[in-house]
Structure 1
Amino acid sequence: MAWRIGLTDPLDEEGLALLREDPEVEIVEARSPSPEALRELVQTCDALIVRSGARLDAGVLEQAERLRVIARAGIGVDNIDLEAATRRGILVMNTPGASTIAVAEHTFALLLALLRKIPSAWLSLREGRWERGWFVGVQLAGKTMGLLGLGRIGTEVARRARAFEMHVIAFDPYIPEERATALQIELVPDLDELYARADILSLHVPLTRETYHLIDRRAFEKMKPGVYLINTARGAVIDEEALLEALNTGRVAGAALDTFSEEPPRSPILQALIAHERVVAVPHLGGSTQEAQRLISRQIVQQLLDALRGRDFRNVVNLPFPEGVDYRTLAPFMRLAEVIGRLQMQLIRGRIHRVEIDVRGEELRAVLRPLGVALLKGLLTPILGDEVTFVNAPMLARERGIQIVEAAQSILGAYAQAVACRVLSTQENRLMVGALFAGEPRIVQVDDFPMEALPRGAVLVMRSRDVPGVIGRVGTLLGQHGINIAEWRLGRDRPGGTALSFINLDTPAPSTILDALRSMPEIEDVRQAFLPETLA
Structure 2
Amino acid sequence: MPKVLISDKLSEAAVQIFRDRGVEVDFQPTLGKDPAKLAEIIGNYDGLAIRSATKATAEILSKATNLKVIGRAGIGVDNVDIPAASQKGIVVMNTPFGNSITTAEHAIAMMFAVAREIPAADASTRAGKWEKSKFMGVEITGKTLGVIGCGNIGSIVANRALGLKMKVVAYDPFLSAERAQQIGVTKVETVEELLPLADFVTLHLPKTEKTANLLNAERVKLFKKGARLINCARGGLVDEAAVAEALHSGALAGAAFDVFAVEPATENPLFDAPNVVCTPHLGASTGEAQENVALQVAEQMSDYLMDGAVSNALNAPSVTAEEAPLLKPWVEVADMLGGFAGQVTESPVTEIEIEFVGEVGKLNLKPLIASLTAAMLRPIVGEGAVNMVSAPFVARERGMKITETKKDPQGAYGSYMRLIVTTENQTRSVAGTVFSDGKPRFIQIKGIGLEAEPQQFMLYTTNSDTPGYIGALGMKLGDLGVNIATFALGRAAKGEEAIALLGVDAELSKETIAEIAALPQVRQAKALKF
TM over 0.5: yes
Question: 1:35 aligns to what?
Answer: 35
1:169 equivalent in alignment to 2:166:
no
Question: 1:70 aligns to what?
Answer: 70
Cα distance 1:380–1:150, how it changes in 2: closer, same or farther (>3 A)? same
Question: 1:352 aligns to what?
Answer: 349
Cα separation, 1, equivalents of 2:365 and 2:199: 47
Aligned-residue offset at 1:40? 4.1
Greater shift, 487-496 or 106-115, is seen at 487-496
Q: Residue type of the partner of 2:262?
A: E
Question: 1:431 aligns to what?
Answer: 429
Identical amino acids, percent of aligned pairs? 36
* 1:162-241 paired onto structure 2 within 5 Å: 162-241=162-241
Aligned-residue offset at 1:50? 0.7
**What do residues 198-257 of structure 1 show as CA deviations (whole Å, max 9, x unaligned)?**
111111111222212222233324332332111111112223344344444444332211
Secondary structure of the equivalent of 1:195? helix
Question: 2:529 aligns to what?
Answer: 531
Cα distance 1:251–1:17, how it changes in 2: closer, same or farther (>3 A)? same
Is this contact kept in 1: 2:96–2:385, CA < 8 A?
yes
Cα separation, 2, equivalents of 1:250 and 1:479: 50
Is this contact kept in 2: 1:92–1:317, CA < 8 A?
yes
Greater shift, 20-29 or 418-427, is seen at 20-29
Cα separation, 2, equivalents of 1:430 and 1:66: 44
Cα separation, 1, equivalents of 2:126 and 2:239: 34
Cα separation, 1, equivalents of 2:443 and 2:37: 47
Secondary structure of the equivalent of 1:274? helix
Superposed CA RMSD: 3.0
Q: Residue type of the partner of 1:181?
A: Q
Q: Residue type of the partner of 1:14?
A: A
* 1:362-441 paired onto structure 2 within 5 Å: 362=359, 365-385=362-382, 386-407=384-405, 413-436=411-434, 438-441=437-440
Is this contact kept in 2: 1:203–1:233, CA < 8 A?
yes
Secondary structure of the equivalent of 2:433? strand
Unmatched tracts of structure 1, length 5 or more: none
Q: What's the TM-score, normalizing by structure 1? A: 0.88
Cα distance 1:119–1:321, how it changes in 2: closer, same or farther (>3 A)? closer
Matched pairs, number: 526
**What do residues 147-169 of structure 1 show as CA deviations (whole Å, max 9, x unaligned)?**
11222211221122122221011
Q: Residue type of the partner of 1:334?
A: V
Q: Residue type of the partner of 2:74?
A: G
Q: Residue type of the partner of 2:198?
A: A
Secondary structure of the equivalent of 1:134? coil
Is this contact kept in 2: 1:458–1:528, CA < 8 A?
no
Q: Residue type of the partner of 1:373?
A: A
Secondary structure of the equivalent of 1:335? helix
Is this contact kept in 1: 2:141–2:164, CA < 8 A?
yes
Question: 2:291 aligns to what?
Answer: 294
Is this contact kept in 2: 1:72–1:95, CA < 8 A?
yes
Greater shift, 66-75 or 30-39, is seen at 30-39
Is this contact kept in 2: 1:449–1:493, CA < 8 A?
yes
Cα distance 1:17–1:257, how it changes in 2: closer, same or farther (>3 A)? same
Greater shift, 303-312 or 291-300, is seen at 303-312
Question: 1:272 aligns to what?
Answer: 269
Cα separation, 2, equivalents of 1:174 and 1:41: 44
Question: 1:334 aligns to what?
Answer: 331
Is this contact kept in 1: 2:357–2:407, CA < 8 A?
no
Greater shift, 112-121 or 249-258, is seen at 249-258
Cα separation, 1, equivalents of 2:225 and 2:507: 36
Cα distance 1:465–1:245, how it changes in 2: closer, same or farther (>3 A)? farther
Q: What's the TM-score, normalizing by structure 2? A: 0.89
Aligned-residue offset at 1:476? 5.9
Question: 2:9 aligns to what?
Answer: 10
* 1:74-113 paired onto structure 2 within 5 Å: 74-113=74-113
* 1:512-531 paired onto structure 2 within 5 Å: 518=517, 520-523=519-522, 525-531=523-529
Q: Residue type of the partner of 2:341?
A: Q
Question: 2:147 aligns to what?
Answer: 147
**What do residues 32-66 of structure 1 show as CA deviations (whole Å, max 9, x unaligned)?**
34333223443111221111232223443333333
Is this contact kept in 2: 1:434–1:444, CA < 8 A?
yes
Unmatched tracts of structure 2, length 5 or more: none
Aligned-residue offset at 1:477? 5.8
Q: Residue type of the partner of 1:415?
A: Y
Aligned-residue offset at 1:78? 2.7
Cα separation, 2, equivalents of 1:295 and 1:324: 29
Secondary structure of the equivalent of 1:444? strand
Cα separation, 1, equivalents of 2:21 and 2:418: 46
